[in-house]
């Protein structure tokens, strides 16, 4: 392998890691958002369930 191709390969690996990190942090942000939404609506649902 040439020095340039090794460097390109290693840089490509870094790009893959960065993209995976972005994807996982996006999934985590979506999870947190869903959790906030559930926490907001849960007391109303429980109250409705007790009254119903």
Per-residue pLDDT tens digits for 1-52: 577 777 777 776 667 778 888 999 999 999 999 999 999 888 888 888 888 6
pTM of the model: 0.53
Q: Which of 3, 22, 2 is nearest to 14 (CA)?
A: 22
CA 42 from centre of chain: 23
- Supply the range of the domain harboring residue 1: 1-52
Looking at the structure of the chain, the number of domains it has is 1
Residue written as token pair 């890691």: 17
Max CA separation in the chain (angstroms) = 73
């Amino acid at each position: 392998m040439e020095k340039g191709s090794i460097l390109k390969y290693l840089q490509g690996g870094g790009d893959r890691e960065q993209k995976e990190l972005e994807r996982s942090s996006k999934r985590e942000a979506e999870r947190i958002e869903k959790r906030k939404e559930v926490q907001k609506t849960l007391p109303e649902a429980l109250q409705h369930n007790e009254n119903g």
